[in-house]
Structures are given as structure tokens and as C-alpha cells.
């Protein structure tokens, strides 16, 4: 039973690692161009100084920090979705779990670069490791993120071992010899003996539990970078959990989008079905509700009490930033809720659209957390220069933002050519469960 | 004695050549002695403390100030001036926005024109109350958030109360700027391009030159305090608005008059700006009552770019069309 299944899985999932079509190269080249444009922006910035960005003395953090938080948030897809789905042994997780884990590792690898872009003296970054001061939330962050990157990478690798072994043993796989060699090395001699299986299962369970914990710590610490300051709008006790929820929201959103993309391009219709979209859609629904609740709670208390600085901030959000506010905190939250809540609307296309809107809205939500607060310091800004009063990102910042997205796409494209984007071992396990379960009920 | 100095300096060169950051080996501080060279002494001797802690007597004519090194200056700047706790008092009743403090500060610290370590704001506490000029240096808080959040220890609090920034350590993350509730810090967004004197040695107490990609702020003129001189802004103010002094001595002076700090605070109802934030500033204000000048006098003889700052805040839309 399992043998024939494996052949089907291999036949369905491996063509993408055997040959590469022209369109792949075209898309890759386009992304590479975007990436190169970003590099040009970075060189320009290093050469001329941060004056080429839109940041000035009041708004000292801009799109870079927004991107940083955003990318770190995306990494939650892996932590929460694959971690919890794994721990709770959810039966439908098999085809999507690998995608979620990849999102985690790739976004974790990209996120910190935005901090580097934001730092005035790039060459002094090693000072954080050379002269760290543990009082600083940035140092907490460095420790937490490094732990998270390693943890997520180990979790990803451990979940890959079985697949590498399967690919190594697949005889009629038409792949380059170096790929075969890579599978042989990376499978670490795994042959599926009961002892090996036990060790692997144990490590995966431990890592799944650990990355959930680490991810919560990472994002709380990230929120505290803002929470520990006295700035109106940031100095909030709710920020830790609020950021965690926001991160899960964006992670699930991105997972749904990538599911839709890979389903279509790599012809995975058989594996990634409406059921997966609906199930993750429901996760998105629940998270959106929580996220909306946290957002409402945060702004309600600020607005109702109307402390002077909070009032100025809220007024700014409701006037200058009105469009952003409506998109981020009404449309972005209500769209997924409405689409999922009405069963008739639950199509793959609709759920994907909801996820896209949720993702974009979350980026804007981060933006209106960072920028308006910095535009409303305790002492009024007394300046005549427009760009010192109001922040607007420059092409340098946008080019680097686009480069970040491009690198994300490129890394995903490369990995999808090295190993199947859907975990074969997970599919097998899910299959075995289907076969075994009726027997179990018969026994009892 | 001379031999010893030579020895240690050659050793220092050796260590530097091999890039071993072992800290300063030889003469720390700024004054070193090259004694007893030839017979042309003045005949007048002075007592000095040598590097190894012995009191030595040398001829005055043979004293030269040794060129201090950056590393030593940076190290020295971490040590406060012993048994001092500096405090500033700003008398808002006297300020008329003459901006001499701003100029003196910018000149002394080689700042670009748009970099102000001391800003003068026009404040109004609420709609019905009067406006007043409000000079705002760094408050050198006793509970400084900027120091807490710095990830690399580039900004630090000394035991004499002064908060400094070492721009050779600063990585430019700008966290201190978001943490400071008083917007006291400025960032060097581009290369300030200053012409330094040839033998200039970087010292965080003066914090010259400003370095691109790092943070700068008021340093209470720690370099001048070392020489028992008043900060530049205090000296420059024609109105005697700014008093500076020592909390331990319980005295502040604006150069013209010296007052008892504690009774000044009680009699004139001194206060600290936004006491409720708990940052415990070292800068106190005297309320703008019984003013010597009407507030409008501050608009006289101002550059348009400066006077425009104090106009009512524009909204984003109008500012854009103007641009």
C-alpha cells in the first residue's frame, strides 16, 4: 500500500526538481533585477548617508523598521502553523506544513537585514556582539532572533531528513548527480529503522514545542522595543501579545497565498485542496477576530481617557492617516472575517484574496504604529522643513523593501527546485493513519 | 624619569603596531612630563603626580602637555569629575529667544546649522495661557532611558550626572532617540564635513567631530567643566537665563550672579519639565512669571527660516501644497 503511494507521490511532486521550465528562469531573472535595484539603493545609502532616506530627527525609524517587524511576523507561519499542527497531530497538515516551515526560516533570514539598513553605521553592527549591554531590548532581540533562526532551521532540517532519504532511495529520479549526492549527505544515513524513527519523532516534537515558545519570546521582545519607551502609542502593556497575534495573522495570510501560488504553478491541486484553504481560513478568521479585538482595545483606552499626547496621536490617526487606518484596521480585519464566516464565499480564490488583503493591511498597520507616534513627540516639532515634519519614504527605502520581497521569492524558488515543496514523508504518514485508524476502532 | 617615559611610549607603539587592544599602558590622562632636559630651567618648580602615582618636583619650563590619545580620552570621559553633581537652572522669565546659546553651542561643537543641541521652543501650556520661550538642552536625566536602551554602551551616565555619547562606539540604531521623551538627540544624517584642527583628538566630552550615522546631543560642555569653566550656552547668554552649578555645593551661577540652588528652587518654584515621566532631569526651570520682556520680542531679528518654525503647526496637506 505504502509503496505504491510513495511512487505516486514521487511522480506527482518530483518533476519540479527534475527539470526547470523557462518561465521559472524568467521570473527568477525579474526578481534578480529587483534585488539588484535594491543593492544599488543600499550602495547609494551607504555612500551618501541616511540623508537619502525619508527618515529625519523626529521620524528616526521608517519603512525599514516596519519591514523588519513585518518579516519577523511572517516567520510565525512556521512557528504556529507547523508547530501547533505538528504537536496536535492535525491530520490535514501534511501538504502545507513544509511551506509553513520554509516561510519561517526564509523570513527570519531576511528580517534582520532591515535592521542593518536602518543602522547608521553598518560596519559597527558587530559591536552588538562585542560590547552588548543586556539592559537594552535590542540585545534581547539579537539573542532571541539568533535562537529563533537556529531553532527554526533545525526544525526545518529535522522534518526534511525523511524526505531526503526517500529521494535518495528513489531509483528512477532524473536529477543531476550533485543533487543525488546532496540528498545522500543530508539524509544523514537515515533508513527508517524503528530506533531512527523514534529519535526523529522525538526531535521533531521537541523542536515543534520549542519554536512555538521561542517565537512568542521573539515577537514579544520585538514589541517591547516599542513598549519600553515612553512614546505615546507605544508605551502600552498590550503590545507583547498584540504583536504576537499580528504576527500569526500575517504568517497564516502568507501561507494561504503561497499555497495558492504553488498549487497553481506546481500543479498540486490533488494535494492542496479547498479543505486546506478553508481550514487555514478558519485559523485566519479566529486570529483576525483576536487581532481586531486587541486593536480596538488598544485604541479605545487611548481615545476614551484622552491624555493629551494620546489625543494628539489619535487625532492624527483619524485625520492625516485616516485612509491607512481604515484600510489597516477595518478592511484588513473585516474582509477575512466576512469571507470565512459566510460558507458560500469560501472558495479558494476568495480566501486567497482575503489573505492578500490581510497581509497588506497588516503591513499598513505596522506603518501606522511606527510613523504617527514618531511624528508626535512630547515637545512639539518646531521646524519649517516638510520632510522633518512628515515622513515619507524615498525610492531608496522602497527599493530595499522590494529587494526584501524579491529575495524571499528567489529563495523560495531555489528551494522548491532542490526538494519537493510538499513533504512526502508527511503525506505517507497521513496516509498510514487513514489506513490504520479503522483497524484501531475495530480492535476496541 | 625621562627614560621611563620613553620606554613606555615605545612599548605602546609596539603594542599598537600589533593591533593588540590591551588598553593604555603608559601615561594616562592628558598631562605628562618631560623633565630635566637641559639647563635652561626657569628655576621655579612645581609638584606633579607621575603616572605611577608618585609626587615629583619638576621645573616649570620643562612641562609640556603631552598629546593625549583618542582611546585614553574616551576612557577618561567615562569618569565623572569627582564629587560633583552638575545641575542646570533655566530662568524662563528672562529668555527672549536671543539664540546666542544656540550659536555658541553650534560653534563650539562644530555642528552644522541645522543641528541644535540646545533648541529654543515656543511653548504654550494650554489655549488660554501665555506663551513662553523654552530653551531645551539635554536634561542629563538621573534615570536616563537613552542609556538603558543603548545596545552597545555608546551612551553612558557618569557619576557627576553627565550623560555622554561616544560616537566612536555608537552604531546609529537610533533607539536612544525614540526612547528620549524630550527629543534631545540629533542624528548625523550625512557627513558633516568639518575642518578639524590638525592635532585634534576625539574626546566624547567635547564630542567633536560629529560622525555620520551616529547620534549627538548636548554634553553639558563636559570638556569645559574639567577646566572649571561654565558651559558655552551659559557664557553666551546675554540675559543670564541659564544658571549652572553643582548640587553638592548647592550653588548655581550664570556668570554674573551666584545663587543658592535649594533656596532658588523653593523661592522661585522651580520645576523639572514633565516630572511625571520619572526620568529625573538634571535641568530645572523657573516659571516664566514677572517676565522682563514680552514674548514677541523673541521674533525680532530672526531669520525667516527660524521665525517660521514658531508659526502654528501646519497640517500635512497645506505643507505639501506649499512645497
List pLDDT tens digits, range B156-184: 999 999 999 999 999 999 999 999 999 99
Query: What pLDDT is stored for residue B104 in this prediction?
Result: 94
User: By CA distance, what is A49's nearest residue in B?
Assistant: B190
Q: Is the pLDDT of residue B25 over 70?
A: no
Query: Which residues of chain A make contact with B188, given a CB cutoff of 8 A?
Result: 49, 120
Beta-carbon separation of A51 and B189 below 8 A: yes
Beta-carbon separation of B121 and A128 below 8 A: no
> What rounded mean pLDDT belongs to chain B?
82
Query: Would you state the CATH architecture of domain B86-297?
Result: 2-Layer Sandwich (3.30)
My answer on whether omega of the bond before A152 falls inside 30° of 0, hence cis, is no
Beta-carbon separation of B150 and A61 below 8 A: no
Residue A68 vs residues A240, A308, B18: alpha-carbon distances, Å: 16, 30, 39
Residue A325 vs residues A59, A320, A368, A424: alpha-carbon distances, Å: 19, 9, 7, 43
Distance from CA of A311 to the nearest CA of B (A): 14
Query: Which residues of chain B make contact with A139, given a CB cutoff of 8 A?
Result: 151
What's the pLDDT tens digit per position in B49-64? 776 667 888 787 776 6
Beta-carbon separation of B212 and A383 below 8 A: no
Confidence of residue A127 (pLDDT cuts 50, 70, 90): very high
* Residue B149 contacts A where some CB pair is shorter than 8 Å: yes
Beta-carbon separation of A131 and B189 below 8 A: no
Q: Is the pLDDT of residue A157 over 50?
A: yes
* Residue A49 contacts B where some CB pair is shorter than 8 Å: yes
* Residue A377 contacts B where some CB pair is shorter than 8 Å: yes
Helix A424-443, helix A137-169: angle, nearest 10? 80
Confidence of residue A328 (pLDDT cuts 50, 70, 90): very high
CA distance B47 to B49: 7
A-B contacts (CB, under 8 Å): 146
Which positions 63-82 of A are in contact with B (Cβ < 8 Å)? none
User: By CA distance, what is B186's nearest residue in A?
Assistant: A57
Confidence of residue B9 (pLDDT cuts 50, 70, 90): very low
Query: What pLDDT is stored for residue B313 in this prediction?
Result: 67
Q: Which grid coordinates belong to A11?
A: 511522480
Instruction: Evaluate whether A376 touches A312 at the Cβ level (below 8 Å).
Output: yes
Query: Would you state the CATH architecture of domain A2-433?
Result: Up-down Bundle (1.20)
* Residue A118 contacts B where some CB pair is shorter than 8 Å: yes
- Supply φ then ψ for residue B203, to 5 degrees: -145, 120
Q: Is the pLDDT of residue B17 over 50?
A: no
Q: What is the mean pLDDT of residues A82-102?
A: 83
Q: Which grid coordinates belong to A4?
A: 505504491
SS3 B27: coil
Query: Which residues of chain A make contact with B320, given a CB cutoff of 8 A?
Result: 386
Q: Where in the sequence of chain B do the CATH 3.30.70.20 domains occur?
A: 86-297
Query: Which residues of chain B make contact with A379, given a CB cutoff of 8 A?
Result: 121, 123, 136, 182-183
Beta-carbon separation of B314 and A49 below 8 A: no
- For every residue of B85-105, DSSP letters joined together read -EEEEEETTT-----HHHHHH
Q: What is the mean pLDDT of residues A394-416?
A: 93
Distance from CA of B186 to the nearest CA of A (A): 6
CA distance A117 to A316: 28
* Residue A379 contacts B where some CB pair is shorter than 8 Å: yes
User: By CA distance, what is A119's nearest residue in B?
Assistant: B173
Query: Which residues of chain A make contact with B122, given a CB cutoff of 8 A?
Result: 382
Query: What pLDDT is stored for residue A444 in this prediction?
Result: 39
Which positions 203-262 of B are in contact with A (Cβ < 8 Å)? 211-215
Q: Which grid coordinates belong to B4?
A: 621611563
Q: Is the pLDDT of residue B45 over 50?
A: yes
Distance from CA of A331 to the nearest CA of B (A): 24
What's the pLDDT tens digit per position in A344-387? 888 888 999 999 999 999 999 999 999 999 999 999 888 888 88
Which positions 404-443 of A are in contact with B (Cβ < 8 Å)? none
* Residue B178 contacts A where some CB pair is shorter than 8 Å: yes
Query: What pLDDT is stored for residue A440 in this prediction?
Result: 47
Tally the residues of chain B.
323
Q: What is the mean pLDDT of residues A388-396?
A: 90
CA distance A82 to A80: 6
Q: Is the pLDDT of residue A220 over 50?
A: yes
Query: Which residues of chain A make contact with B177, given a CB cutoff of 8 A?
Result: 57, 60
Q: Which grid coordinates belong to B306?
A: 527660524
> What rounded mean pLDDT belongs to chain A?
87
* Residue B318 contacts A where some CB pair is shorter than 8 Å: no
Minimum-distance CB partner of B151 among A49, A58, A133: A133
CA distance A349 to A340: 12
Query: What pLDDT is stored for residue A82 in this prediction?
Result: 78
Beta-carbon separation of B169 and A119 below 8 A: no
What's the pLDDT tens digit per position in B76-97? 888 888 889 999 999 999 999 9
Query: Which residues of chain B make contact with A130, given a CB cutoff of 8 A?
Result: 152
SS3 A188: coil
Q: Is the pLDDT of residue B322 over 70?
A: no
Minimum-distance CB partner of B148 among A130, A136, A142: A136
Q: What is the mean pLDDT of residues A313-340?
A: 92
Judge if pTM exceeds 0.90: no
Domain ranges of chain A: 2-433
Higher local confidence (pLDDT), A252 or A306: A252
Q: What is the mean pLDDT of residues A121-134?
A: 92
Beta-carbon separation of A379 and B136 below 8 A: yes
Q: What is the mean pLDDT of residues A2-16?
A: 72
- Supply φ then ψ for residue B116, to 5 degrees: -120, 115
Q: Is the pLDDT of residue B145 over 90?
A: yes
Higher local confidence (pLDDT), A419 or A339: A339
Which positions 311-370 of A are in contact with B (Cβ < 8 Å)? 319-320
Q: Is the pLDDT of residue A435 over 60?
A: yes
Query: What pLDDT is stored for residue A131 in this prediction?
Result: 92
Edge-first strand order for the sheet with B258-260 is B258-260, B251-253, B242-246, B86-91, B283-286
Instruction: Evaluate whether B220 touches B242 at the Cβ level (below 8 Å).
Output: no
Amino acid at each position: 500500500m505504502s509503496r505504491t503511494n510513495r511512487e505516486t507521490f514521487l511522480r506527482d511532486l518530483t518533476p519540479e526538481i527534475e527539470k526547470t521550465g523557462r518561465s521559472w528562469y524568467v521570473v527568477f531573472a525579474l526578481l534578480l533585477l529587483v534585488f539588484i535595484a535594491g543593492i544599488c539603493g543600499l550602495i547609494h545609502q551607504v555612500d551618501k548617508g541616511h540623508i537619502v532616506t525619508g527618515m529625519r530627527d523626529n521620524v528616526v525609524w521608517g519603512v525599514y523598521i516596519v519591514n523588519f517587524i513585518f518579516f519577523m511576523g511572517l516567520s510565525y507561519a512556521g512557528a504556529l502553523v507547523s508547530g501547533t499542527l505538528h504537536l496536535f497531530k492535525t491530520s490535514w497538515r501534511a501538504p502545507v506544513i513544509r511551506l509553513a516551515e520554509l516561510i519561517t526560516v526564509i523570513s527570519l533570514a531576511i528580517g534582520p537585514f532591515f535592521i542593518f539598513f536602518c543602522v547608521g553605521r553598518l560596519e559597527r553592527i558587530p559591536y552588538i556582539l562585542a560590547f552588548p549591554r543586556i539592559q537594552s531590548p535590542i540585545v534581547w532581540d539579537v539573542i532571541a532572533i539568533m535562537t529563533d533562526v537556529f531553532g527554526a532551521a533545525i526544525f526545518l532540517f529535522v522534518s526534511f531528513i525523511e524526505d531526503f532519504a526517500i529521494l535518495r532511495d528513489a531509483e528512477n529520479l532524473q536529477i543531476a548527480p550533485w543533487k543525488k549526492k546532496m540528498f545522500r549527505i543530508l539524509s544523514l544515513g537515515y533508513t527508517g529503522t524503528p530506533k531512527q524513527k523514534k529519535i526523529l519523532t522525538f526531535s521533531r516534537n521537541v523542536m515543534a514545542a520549542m519554536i512555538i515558545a521561542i517565537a512568542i519570546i521573539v515577537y514579544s521582545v520585538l514589541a517591547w522595543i516599542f513598549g519600553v519607551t515612553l512614546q505615546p502609542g507605544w508605551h502600552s502593556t498590550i503590545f507583547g501579545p498584540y504583536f504576537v497575534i499580528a504576527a500569526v495573522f500575517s504568517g497564516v495570510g502568507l501561507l494561504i497565498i503561497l499555497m495558492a501560488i504553488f498549487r497553481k504553478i506546481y500543479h498540486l491541486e490533488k494535494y492542496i485542496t479547498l479543505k486546506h484553504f478553508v481550514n487555514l481560513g478558519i485559523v485566519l478568521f479566529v486570529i483576525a477576530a483576536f487581532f481586531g479585538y486587541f486593536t480596538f482595545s488598544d485604541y479605545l483606552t487611548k481615545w476614551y481617557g484622552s491624555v493629551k499626547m494620546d489625543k494628539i496621536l489619535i487625532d492624527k490617526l483619524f485625520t492625516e492617516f485616516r485612509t491607512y487606518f481604515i484600510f489597516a484596521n477595518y478592511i484588513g480585519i473585516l474582509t477575512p472575517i466576512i469571507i470565512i464566516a459566510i460558507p458560500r464565499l469560501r472558495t479558494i480564490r476568495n480566501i486567497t484574496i482575503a489573505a492578500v488583503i490581510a497581509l497588506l493591511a497588516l503591513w499598513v498597520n505596522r506603518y501606522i504604529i511606527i510613523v504617527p507616534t514618531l511624528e508626535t513627540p512630547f515637545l512639539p516639532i518646531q521646524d519649517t522643513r516638510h520632510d522633518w515634519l512628515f515622513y515619507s519614504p524615498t525610492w531608496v527605502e522602497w527599493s530595499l523593501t522590494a529587494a526584501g520581497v524579491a529575495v524571499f521569492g528567489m529563495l523560495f524558488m531555489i528551494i522548491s527546485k532542490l526538494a519537493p515543496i510538499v513533504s512526502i514523508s508527511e503525506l505517507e504518514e497521513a496516509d498510514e493513519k487513514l489506513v490504520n485508524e479503522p483497524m484501531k476502532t475495530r480492535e476496541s | 624619569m625621562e627614560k621611563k617615559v620613553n620606554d613606555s611610549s615605545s612599548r605602546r607603539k609596539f603594542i599598537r603596531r600589533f593591533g593588540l587592544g590591551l588598553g593604555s599602558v603608559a601615561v594616562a590622562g592628558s598631562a605628562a612630563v618631560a623633565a630635566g632636559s637641559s639647563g635652561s630651567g626657569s628655576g621655579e618648580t612645581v609638584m606633579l603626580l607621575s603616572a605611577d602615582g608618585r609626587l615629583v618636583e619638576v621645573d616649570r619650563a620643562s612641562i609640556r602637555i603631552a598629546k593625549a590619545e583618542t582611546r585614553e580620552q574616551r576612557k577618561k570621559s567615562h569618569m565623572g569629575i569627582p564629587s560633583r553633581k552638575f545641575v542646570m537652572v533655566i530662568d524662563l522669565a528672562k529668555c527672549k529667544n536671543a539664540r546666542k546659546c544656540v550659536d555658541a553651542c553650534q560653534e563650539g561643537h562644530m555642528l552644522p546649522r541645522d543641528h541644535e543641541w540646545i533648541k529654543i521652543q515656543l511653548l504654550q501650556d494650554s489655549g488660554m495661557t501665555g506663551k513662553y520661550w523654552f530653551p531645551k538642552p539635554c536634561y542629563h536625566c538621573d534615570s536616563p532611558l537613552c542609556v538603558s536602551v543603548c545596545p552597545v554602551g555608546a551612551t553612558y551616565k557618569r557619576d557627576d550626572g553627565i550623560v555622554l555619547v561616544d560616537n566612536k562606539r555608537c552604531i546609529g540604531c537610533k533607539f536612544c532617540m525614540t526612547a528620549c521623551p524630550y527629543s534631545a538627540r540629533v542624528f548625523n544624517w550625512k557627513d558633516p564635513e568639518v575642518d578639524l584642527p590638525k592635532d585634534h583628538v576625539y574626546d566624547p566630552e567635547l564630542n567633536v567631530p560629529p560622525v555620520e550615522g551616529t547620534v549627538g546631543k548636548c554634553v553639558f560642555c563636559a570638556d569645559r567643566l574639567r577646566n572649571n569653566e561654565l558651559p558655552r550656552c551659559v557664557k553666551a547668554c546675554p540675559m543670564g537665563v541659564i544658571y549652572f552649578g553643582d548640587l553638592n555645593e548647592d550653588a548655581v551661577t550664570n556668570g554674573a550672579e551666584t545663587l543658592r540652588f535649594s533656596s532658588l528652587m523653593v523661592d522661585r518654584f522651580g520645576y523639572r519639565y514633565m516630572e511625571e515621566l520619572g526620568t529625573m532631569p538634571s535641568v530645572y526651570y523657573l516659571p516664566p512669571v514677572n517676565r522682563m520682556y514680552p514674548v514677541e520680542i523673541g521674533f525680532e531679528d530672526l531669520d525667516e527660516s527660524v521665525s517660521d518654525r514658531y508659526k502654528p503647526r501646519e497640517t500635512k496637506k497645506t505643507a505639501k501644497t506649499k512645497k
